[in-house]
């Protein structure tokens, strides 16, 4: 009987648990041991050492963590980088005015002197990575509580990172992997002088806008160009006119030879976050509770902003970056819900859990350690569900009101004044808040936000049980009888938080003016909601979340102990990873097939002069009409724009270089397909595709459209 059970288990695990083709975000330091043979069998001509090495220059030395949230790649010996247009969008917005609208018109520096500095923007390169699991867990014992364990782990991580960079200019951080079963050290070099070199107009860089976001087929020229500057010793330095272009250890060659279907592709970048090993209970809460709530709230905010942005160029420029950011994950979550349903994710997880538990129950030792895992998961998710809902509605609805958000800057400051905090400590905090306030109001519109306020409060009160709402809602009900438009109009007419001048004036003598702030109607709304959240919701949520994290760590440990034939890749956590697959189309639904690449022809087919998202520049139309594609056309005479492939990617991979088998740049990763957004949770090889800007279109825009071909002189182009 036991033999029969084991045979069933082997069959089921092969279906539900082993890595599917092209799945995985792999740590480059382990490619030699885990992936090199497989990658080479699929078309890679490089060795693992060519991709990641600490003994010689390698591809890793040209992979840049851009601004902490995207990836970029170094493509010249003068520190020139490609990343996405949407990754550089905030910088383009910062440099834009109504009179000099870089978002609409694009930007091309004709010399180093014309390149634009971007305070606060950083470019980080990995120097090396190291397994420090033993050191981190050296003082952790089995009898510790989770809190005690976390304390020892955090203390160890701080000390190990500090020791690793002693007497150097490097930075360092340690990240947990496999839910805290392993820990890795990353030593980094961070450059703080990063300048904007070029970007196409939004009609190219954002072509298709929110309509096409997360979609395939795609025709977006989603790129921008930046340059890293260093001091005269080629070391990181704050911005200075004396700084010079950075001389990198490695420069990525660019191929314009093109790509064919089923060709090998590799993505190298900094994927943000995935959760591939969640239980069915977690997936159920995401798919049926959390994602739907966030989608609904963001849909409301976006609709209000859209009307005001279309009515005013000033509002459009103020809110363009914020709108794009908000819309990005609104659409992603919506696609994730659909993708999880299509993949039957919950039932697949449940089937795996049934088989896993059957395997556990065949081993007395495993049963003792892991027998209660899923009943514990069920209990914890049942308890955390209502607190998770309150957390979502607080962060998305209440804090989605911008005036409430800026008022929250003063929450701790006012409490500190009242508690007699030392003047020196307090002044430092106030000075930092002054800068935050100035930055906030540059892109704030009170008329639009008043509408948001009324809508978000209505959404909150309609979805959160009355007994769990902040106390101010009972006051609003008594005075305004549920008329949130009337309430919003009243508080926005009286509050200082709709005006930068009034807020800055109040900050001049906060030790005296704090009482005025306390009486402010928007501050009172914020204070009631944030106090409820900080004092009741967040502590309970964090308590339960910590228990779930501990269960996840145990579950991960159990999987790796009991299922030893599987190659495990760690969830993405913002650290350097390699993903590989092939250029490939797919079937999004019955009877429909998408090809693996798109061309300029598709841009013209989508053109709609009456819709901002689908306007085509006259110069681009002229080039299309004349078929003036130069060396960037494919064998059929078409101008490729984008292609899709089966690489496993996520947020943070935006701007990542996409390589052919020879390690040459063939494109820049910029999105995923809508049908495949559930890949953060469960990978479906038939549906998951990353979307890539073909480098030939990038070079075409730089050269033929923008007339900035001088930039190509810096690049190593392989024909």
Residues assigned a catalytic role: 86, 222, 654
Residue 41 CB neighbour total at 10 angstroms:
9
Q: Are 438 and 119 in contact (CB under 8 A)?
A: no
Pairing of β 264-269 and β 657-659? antiparallel
Selection from 54, 48, 45 nearest residue 128 by Cα = 54
Please report how many Cα atoms fall inside a 13 Å half-sphere around the Cα of residue 272, on the Cβ side. 14
Decide: helix, strand or coil at residue 176.
strand
Cβ pair 644, 583 in contact under 8 A: yes
State the Cα–Cα distance between residues 336 and 522, nearest whole angstrom.
35
Question: Quick one: which of 493, 497, 519, 494 has its CA closest to 507?
Answer: 497
Which of 74, 73, 26, 28 has the alpha carbon at shortest distance from 50? 28
Counting DSSP H helices and E strands in the chain, the numbers are 29, 22
Q: Distance between CA atoms of 422 and 264, rounded to whole angstroms? A: 61
**In angstroms, rounded to a whole number, what is the distance separating the alpha carbons of residues 643 and 389?**
38
CA distance 719 to 88: 28
Residue 270 DSSP label: -
Say which DSSP state 583 is in: B
Q: How far is CA 559 from CA 262, 370, 565, in A?
A: 33, 10, 11
**Tokens describing residue 231:** 């001091």
For the beta carbon of residue 627, count every other beta carbon within 10 angstroms. Answer: 11
Collapsing DSSP to helix, strand or coil, 342 comes out as helix
DSSP readout, 411-468?
HHHHHHHHTT--HHHHHHHHHHHHHHHHHHHTT--HHHHHHHHHHHHHHHHHHS-GGG
Q: What is the DSSP string of 608-640?
A: -TTSGGG---HHHHHHHHTT--GGG--TTS--E
Rounded Cα–Cα distance for residues 693 and 640 (Å): 9
Question: Which H, E and C letters describe 279-314, residue by residue?
Answer: CHHHHHHHHHHHHHHHHHHHHHHHHHHHHHHHHCHH
Tokens 């020791």 correspond to 163
Query: Per this entry, what is the length of the chain?
Result: 719
Q: What is the 3-state secondary structure (H, E, C) of 64-75?
A: EEECCCEEEEEC
Find the angle CA(8)-CA(11)-CA(12) to the nearest 5 degrees: 85
Instruction: Residue 447: name the closest of 405, 500, 494, 489 by CA.
Output: 489
Nearest Cα residue to 125 out of 45, 216, 59, 178: 59
DSSP 121: -
């Amino acid at each position: 009987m036991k033999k029969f059970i084991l045979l069933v288990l082997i069959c089921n695990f092969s279906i539900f648990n082993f890595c599917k083709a092209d799945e995985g975000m792999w740590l480059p330091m382990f490619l030699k041991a885990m992936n090199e043979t497989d990658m080479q069998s699929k078309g890679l001509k490089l060795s693992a050492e060519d991709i990641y090495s600490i003994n010689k220059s390698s591809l890793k030395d040209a992979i840049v963590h851009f601004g902490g949230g995207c990836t970029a790649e170094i493509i010249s010996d003068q520190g020139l980088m490609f990343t996405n247009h949407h990754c550089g969008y905030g910088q383009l917005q910062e440099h834009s005015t109504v009179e000099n609208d870089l978002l609409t018109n694009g930007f091309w520096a004709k010399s180093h002197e014309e390149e634009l500095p971007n305070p606060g923007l950083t470019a980080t390169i990995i120097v090396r990575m190291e397994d420090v699991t033993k050191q981190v867990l050296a003082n952790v014992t089995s009898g510790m509580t989770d809190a005690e364990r976390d304390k020892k782990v955090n203390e160890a991580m701080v000390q190990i990172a500090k020791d690793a960079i002693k007497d150097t200019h490097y930075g360092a951080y340690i990240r947990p992997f496999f839910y805290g079963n392993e820990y890795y050290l990353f030593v980094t070099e961070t450059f703080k002088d990063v300048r904007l070199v070029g970007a196409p107009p939004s009609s190219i860089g954002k072509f298709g806008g929110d309509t096409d976001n997360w979609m395939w087929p795609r025709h977006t020229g989603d790129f921008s160009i930046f340059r890293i500057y260093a001091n005269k010793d080629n070391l990181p330095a704050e911005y200075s006119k004396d700084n010079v272009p950075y001389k990198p250890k490695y420069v990525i060659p660019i191929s314009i030879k093109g790509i064919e279907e089923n060709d090998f592709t590799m993505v190298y970048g900094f994927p943000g976050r995935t959760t591939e090993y969640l239980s069915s209970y977690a997936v159920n809460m995401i798919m049926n509770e959390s994602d739907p709530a966030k989608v609904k709230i963001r849909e409301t905010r976006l609709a209000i902003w859209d009307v005001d942005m279309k009515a005013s160029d000033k509002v459009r420029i103020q809110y363009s970056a914020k709108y794009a950011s908000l819309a990005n994950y609104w659409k992603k979550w919506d696609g994730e819900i659909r993708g999880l349903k299509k993949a039957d994710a919950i039932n697949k997880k449940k089937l795996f859990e049934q088989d896993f538990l059957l395997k556990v129950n065949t081993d007395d030792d495993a049963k003792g350690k892991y027998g209660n895992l899923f009943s514990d998961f069920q209990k914890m998710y049942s308890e955390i569900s209502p607190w998770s809902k309150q957390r979502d509605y607080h962060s998305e609805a209440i804090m989605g009101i911008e005036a409430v958000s800026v008022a929250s800057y003063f929450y701790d400051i006012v409490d500190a004044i009242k508690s007699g905090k030392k003047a020196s400590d307090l002044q430092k905090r106030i000075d930092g808040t002054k800068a935050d306030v100035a930055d906030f109001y540059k892109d704030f519109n009170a008329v639009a936000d008043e509408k948001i306020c009324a809508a978000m409060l209505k959404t909150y009160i309609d979805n959160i049980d009355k007994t769990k709402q902040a106390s101010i809602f009972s006051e609003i009900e008594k005075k305004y009888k549920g008329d949130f438009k009337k309430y919003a109009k009243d508080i926005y007419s009286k509050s200082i938080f709709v005006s930068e001048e009034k807020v800055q004036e109040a900050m001049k003598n906060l030790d005296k003016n704090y009482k005025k702030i306390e009486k402010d109607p928007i501050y009172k709304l914020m204070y009631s909601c944030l106090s409820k959240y900080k004092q009741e919701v967040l502590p309970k949520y964090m308590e339960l979340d910590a228990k779930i994290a501990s269960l996840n760590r145990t579950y991960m440990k159990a999987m790796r102990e009991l299922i030893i034939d599987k190659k495990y890749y760690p969830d993405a956590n913002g650290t350097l990873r390699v993903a590989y697959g092939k250029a490939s189309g797919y079937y999004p639904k019955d009877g429909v097939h998408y090809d693996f690449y798109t061309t300029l022809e598709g841009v013209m087919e989508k053109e709609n002069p009456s819709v901002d998202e689908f306007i085509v520049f006259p110069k681009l139309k002229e080039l299309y009409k004349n078929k003036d594609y130069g060396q960037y056309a494919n064998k059929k005479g078409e101008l490729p724009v984008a292609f899709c492939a089966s690489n496993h990617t996520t947020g943070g991979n935006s701007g990542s270089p996409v390589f052919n088998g020879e390690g040459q740049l063939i494109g820049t990763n910029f999105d995923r397909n809508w049908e495949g957004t559930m890949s953060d949770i469960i990978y479906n090889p038939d549906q998951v595709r990353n979307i890539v800007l073909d480098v030939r279109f990038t070079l075409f825009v730089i050269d033929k459209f923008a007339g900035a071909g001088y930039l190509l002189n810096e690049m190593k182009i392989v024909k």
